[in-house]
Each structure stands twice: as C-alpha cells, then as structure tokens.
Amino acid sequence: MRHVLLWILLLLNPYRLSIAAVDTTAMIISILLYFIAIPISIASKSGEGSPPQTNPFQERLFSELCGLDGNTSSNVPIDGRDHPVSCGARFKNIDSLPFLDALVKETLRLRAAGPCTQLRVVPPGRTLSIQGLLIPSGTEVGVHPWTMHRKDNVWERAEEFIPERWLPSNLGGWGPEPGSDSYDEMTKHFMPFGNGVRICAGRNMALMETKLVVGSLVRHFEIKVDRRETNDRTMEPRDSHFVSHHLSRKCFQAKSMHPDHISEIRGV
C-alpha cells in the first residue's frame, strides 16, 4: 500500500506543479494586462471619475518603468539595422516599484487565480473557537478568499479595480498609511495565496514572474484590447475546481514602443 501511495504522489506532483507554476501565474498576468488596457474612468476617493474613455494605469506604469535604474540593453537586429533594446532590470529594482506592486496586489484581490475555499480539518482531540463558536475535532473549516477580498467594511468600493487603495497619499494614492489600523485590516484580509503554515510555497516565485513579465511587456509595448474578442463577458472568471480561468484566449494587441519598430504582435 505504501508503494502505491508513493506512485500516486509521483504521478500527481508534476500535474500539481504545472498548475501552480504555469496556469495561476498566466491568469494573473493576463487579467492584470486586461485591467490596464481597457478604457475606464479615472477613479477618485469620492467615487467620482472621468467618462470611461482613457486608462491612466498603463501610462503611469510605463513612466514608472522608464525611470527605473539598473536597465541593461543589447543590440537587436530589426529590419536590417541594429537597435538598442532594453533587456530589463534586476528583480530587486522592479520589486521596489510602488505602482507596479499596487497593480499586482489589486489584481490578486479582485481576481486571485485560486479564489476557492481551501478546506482544513480540526485536528483530533482539539476544539477550535472562532468568535465564541466552538467547532469540534474532525470538522472541515475554511476561509473563502473571494469573499474576504470583497468585505465592504474593509475594502472601500470593493468591486472596483482601484490600485490607489494600496498607495498612501505621498505616493499618489489614497490608501491608509502602512502600520495604521486600516492598513493592518487590509493585509489581514488579503489572502490570494492562502495564509498560515499552509500558505502557497510558490507565492514569491509567482510574484517575481508576474512583475518581471508585466514590467517587460509594458516597458516595450503598448497593450491594447480587441473588444470584439475580449471584453468583460469573455474575461469573466470560470471556476475549474481550484484554478479560476477566463474564457478569452487571444486577448491583446501589443504595439512596439520603439519608433523604428512598427510591427505588431498579437496574443499574450
């Protein structure tokens, strides 16, 4: 029996790793690019905004990336001529960008790739107490991240994509100051990778990949959405047991930001 269980684990682990390392990160990246490409109103803390014609997030991120130190470049042949193309920056520099970090956090809040309840069992001989309610051993319990990320008493205008909620006023946002009670409440209810000793072991790799890929794409391309193929309906989440997918596959049109490179690349 022990050998059978070992073979089952050996067969399941590659599948689990492929789901954790590929599908979830790809979903986060694609929905983040969608959020910064679609026309939206410029939100304010009062709830008022401009007509939904422009999206300021991509331009602000592009400006932040352009001011990044530590970029390296190399010559790439384009149309028979060599052009200096940035190869990006070290992750430690990209990780320090406040607006990119706010975009990633807000995407994970609204559309975490694994938003479903991850059940746990109260251990034998133990009793769990939650706000005075006693839960006996053997009971399955769990927290639903999708619901936690939409609590009105924690997240102002919880259904809206507002990355400024993660930035204090001195960084161009209207979120609470780090260390304040309001900020602690946000971080306590923020659990896109789970929480506690069973938190996702690959969360740091997922965040690193997301920031590097999004930073590289926005630094070199203007991301646009073909609304005939990609819109709010096609980007609605579809639950696939654990990982949340969206319907759209061919989502974006990316145009090179280099003035001498006018070819277009479709698909992300």
The pLDDT, as a whole number, for residue 233 is 76
Mean of the pLDDT values across residues 21-29?
Answer: 79
pLDDT per residue over 50-65, tens digit each? 555 567 899 999 999 8
Q: Which residues contact 180 (CB under 8 A, 6 or more apart)?
A: none
C-beta separation of 127 from 137 below 8 A: yes
Evaluate whether residue 222 is within a structural domain. yes
Determine what percent of the chain is predicted with pLDDT higher than 90: 21
The pLDDT, as a whole number, for residue 260 is 43
Q: Name the residue range of residue 260's domain.
A: 22-37+54-74+83-114+146-266
Total count of domains within the chain: 1
- Higher per-residue confidence, 230 vs 71: 230
Evaluate whether residue 134 is within a structural domain. no
Residue 41's pLDDT band (cuts 50, 70, 90):
low
C-beta separation of 225 from 252 below 8 A: yes
- Determine the Cα–Cα distance for residues 155 and 145; give it in Å rounded to an integer: 13
Evaluate whether residue 125 is within a structural domain. no
Evaluate whether residue 174 is within a structural domain. yes
Q: Which residues contact 125 (CB under 8 A, 6 or more apart)?
A: 137
Q: Which residues contact 134 (CB under 8 A, 6 or more apart)?
A: 127, 128
Evaluate whether residue 60 is within a structural domain. yes
Least confident segment among 73-77, 127-131, 177-181, 236-240: 73-77
- Determine the Cα–Cα distance for residues 261 and 78; give it in Å rounded to an integer: 7
Q: What count of Cα atoms within 13 Å lies in the side-chain half-sphere of residue 27?
A: 25
Triad 201, 184, 65: Cα angle to 5°: 65
Evaluate whether residue 167 is within a structural domain. yes
pLDDT per residue over 139-174, tens digit each? 988 888 888 999 999 999 999 999 999 999 888 888
Instruction: Locate 260 and state its tokens.
Output: 């001498």
Evaluate whether residue 209 is within a structural domain. yes
Instruction: Locate 250 and state its tokens.
Output: 């061919």
pTM of the predicted model as reported, rounded to 2 decimal places? 0.76
pLDDT at 218 over 50: yes
Sign of CA dihedral 36, 37, 38, 39: positive
Burial zone of 158 (CB within 10 Å; 0-12 exposed, 13-18 middle, 19+ buried): middle
Spatial CA neighbour of 117 closest among 27, 31, 198, 8:
198
Evaluate whether residue 205 is within a structural domain. yes
- Determine the Cα–Cα distance for residues 153 and 210; give it in Å rounded to an integer: 29
DSSP class of residue 204 equals H
User: For the domain that residue 66 is a member of, what is the CATH number?
Assistant: 1.10.630.10
The pLDDT, as a whole number, for residue 263 is 37
pLDDT at 194 over 50: yes
In one-letter notation, the amino acid at residue 138 is: G
